[in-house]
């Protein structure tokens, strides 16, 4: 079977995993506010609703842990296939659902699949995609997530018109399609050279590096064959680490920043708006099809604004995206909460949903809806892709896989906690829920602005010594010398060329007995 090495082909195949991540976001949210769905399940209360919604991120946490254990045994391609099978198993259970607990089980199993994929995708991108295209591929995967969310929403919207249990059974059965495609097409992907080298397959790693470099550079004449020393140097970490060592000096700050950024992604409230968009529509007085259409707008906005990072993420510094985006999201969430508190009032449970006991109608309600749309747009243009990429970049190569497991595990666990308690919070403290989310986001945005370093364009050695000021300064000075430099990828990229540098005519000839061979490594 032919193996694909071109970046565009790799991006298209792993985007199927992004489709899986996206389809499950809107597949429950659409039915959650439907009378027949709640009647079929016996009108679940706020805690049961929270459990159904949070089952997915709880499974995501389990999937992250599983990837951390299995990544040493399963290759990257085998991992894609394993998570595809887990996803299909969850879909089968969801199709056969007869009560709340089967909904929870099906979503938890599918969540385990997407939790593992949420670590596997950036890890695979970091190991296979050239440095100057990582932002683009990450954004394309995120675009597939948003398109899948929108597509699944409209599929569920149309099926919802039947007002029968067949509606959600068909919808959840359709989610098997991208997993089946990913299982098949993943056989066409190139195995990670890093994984091969770490496990002793040096000849295969050498061949993968050469072909990936050739297909993605287009400069066959300048591409050299890599010997085993090159493979060891670029791909195998000199000092393998354990999870415990992530908390030691030299890695503690790297992993802390990665975790903090993932906390920001969850606390900002994006998942709350996406999962419970129909609740907000209920609060502002929308009913019937108008409610579902309004709930679809955030998914459409999400797709449109995801094109912003596709066009700009590889051109802008990471801090220039993260800092403004975080502060704007904090302000928007605070304003939403304040408007709801100022102009809203208590009400009886809307549509029998005991989690929705607050209304804000008229112009204030419309303004809240528009601010929610703006919030989704800002998040899609800033944190959605950049946070994923920055978390991967801030981690040194030797800690990248394990560090991503830890960071994404925290992200999924917090996601599960927030989605579980949101219906309860909405029923008890109502609009204050949004004020709390906005305040936490503002605090974390301050940490990003004051503490987070820039990672754009930094070499692997610079990331490793990012918090060692003396070493970092020395490397920065060396990089300004006219005699040449050594540049390495933040994650060992296979698109590497070794070119001999021409001597400078203005440079005095070497008088030492030792002659240096100056090598420029371009990624």
Per residue in 304-342, pLDDT (tens digit) is 999 999 898 888 899 999 999 999 999 999 999 999 999
Contact 112, 64 (CB under 8 A): no
Q: What is the pLDDT of residues 374-416, one digit of tens each?
A: 999 999 999 999 998 899 889 887 888 889 999 999 999 998 8
Contact 273, 53 (CB under 8 A): no
Residue 361 per-residue DSSP state: -
Q: Report how far residue 11's alpha carbon sits from residue 209's, in angstroms, rounded to the nearest whole number.
A: 18
**How far lies 84's CA from each of 177, 255, 281, in Å?**
10, 28, 34
Contact 30, 160 (CB under 8 A): yes
Q: Report how far residue 264's alpha carbon sits from residue 251's, in angstroms, rounded to the nearest whole number.
A: 20
DSSP string, 227-280: -HHHHHHHHS-SS---SGGGGSTTTHHHHHHHHHHHHHHHHTTHHHHHHTHHHH
Contact 523, 462 (CB under 8 A): no
For residue 303, give every residue at least 6 positions away whose Cβ sits within 8 Å of its Cβ, in sequence order, or none.
143, 146, 147, 149, 150, 380
Instruction: Give every residue of the chain whose pLDDT is below 70, as ranges.
Output: 216-240, 469-523
Contact 384, 142 (CB under 8 A): yes
Q: Global pTM?
A: 0.77
**What is residue 358's three-state secondary structure?**
strand
Q: Which residues pair with 521 in a beta bridge?
A: 498
Which architecture, in CATH terms, is 7-190+237-457?
A: Up-down Bundle (1.20)
N residues, the chain:
523
Q: Where are the domains of the chain?
A: 7-190+237-457, 461-522
Q: What is the pLDDT of residues 139-188, one digit of tens each?
A: 899 899 999 988 998 898 889 888 899 999 999 999 999 999 999 999 99
Nearest CA to 102 out of 149, 44, 61 is that of 44
């Amino acid at each position: 079977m032919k193996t694909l090495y071109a970046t565009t082909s790799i991006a298209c195949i792993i985007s199927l995993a992004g489709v899986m991540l996206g389809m499950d976001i809107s597949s429950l949210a659409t039915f959650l506010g439907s009378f027949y769905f709640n009647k079929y399940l016996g009108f679940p209360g706020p805690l049961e609703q929270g459990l159904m919604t949070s089952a997915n991120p709880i499974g995501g946490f389990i999937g992250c842990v599983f990837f951390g254990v299995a990544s040493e045994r399963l290759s990257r391609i085998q991992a894609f296939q394993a998570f595809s099978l887990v996803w299909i198993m969850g879909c089968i259970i969801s199709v056969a659902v007869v009560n709340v607990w089967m909904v929870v089980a099906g979503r938890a199993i599918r969540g385990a699949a997407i939790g593992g994929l949420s670590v596997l995708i950036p890890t695979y991108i970091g190991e296979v995609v050239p440095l100057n295209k990582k932002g683009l591929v990450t954004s394309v995967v995120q675009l597939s997530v948003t398109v899948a969310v929108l597509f699944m929403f409209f599929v569920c919207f149309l099926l919802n018109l039947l007002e029968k249990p067949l509606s959600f059974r068909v919808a959840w059965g359709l989610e098997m399609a991208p997993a089946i495609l990913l299982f098949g097409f993943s056989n066409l992907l190139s195995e990670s050279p890093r994984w091969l080298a770490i496990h002793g397959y040096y000849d295969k790693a050498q061949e993968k590096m050469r072909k990936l470099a050739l297909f993605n550079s287009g400069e066959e004449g300048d591409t050299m064959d890599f010997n085993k020393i090159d493979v060891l140097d670029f791909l195998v970490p000199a000092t393998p680490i354990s999870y415990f060592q992530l908390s030691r000096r030299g890695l503690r700050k790297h992993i802390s920043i990665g975790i903090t950024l993932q906390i920001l992604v969850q606390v900002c409230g994006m998942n709350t708006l996406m999962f419970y968009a129909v609740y907000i529509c209920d609060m502002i007085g929308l009913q019937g099809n108008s409610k579902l259409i309004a709930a679809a707008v955030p998914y459409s906005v999400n797709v449109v604004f995801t094109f912003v990072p596709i066009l700009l993420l590889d051109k802008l510094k990471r801090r220039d995206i993260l800092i403004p985006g975080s502060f704007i999201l904090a302000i928007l969430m605070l304003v939403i909460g304040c408007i709801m508190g100022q102009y809203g009032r208590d009400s009886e449970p809307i549509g029998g949903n005991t989690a929705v006991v607050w209304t804000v109608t008229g112009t204030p309600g419309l303004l809240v809806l528009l601010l929610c749309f703006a919030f989704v747009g800002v998040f899609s243009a800033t944190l959605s892709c950049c946070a994923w990429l920055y978390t991967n970049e801030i981690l040194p190569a030797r800690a990248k896989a394990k560090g991503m497991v830890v960071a994404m595990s925290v992200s999924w666990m917090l996601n599960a906690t927030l989605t579980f308690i949101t219906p309860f919070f909405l029923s008890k403290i109502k609009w204050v829920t949004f004020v709390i989310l906005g305040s936490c986001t503002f605090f974390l945005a301050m940490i990003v602005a004051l503490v987070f370093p820039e990672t754009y364009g930094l070499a692997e050695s610079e990331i490793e010594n990012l918090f060692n000021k003396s070493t970092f300064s020395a490397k920065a000075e060396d990089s300004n010398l006219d005699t040449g430099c050594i540049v390495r990828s933040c994650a060992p990229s296979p698109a590497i060329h070794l070119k001999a540098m021409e001597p400078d005519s203005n440079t005095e000839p070497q008088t030492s007995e030792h002659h240096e061979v100056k090598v420029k490594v371009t990624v």
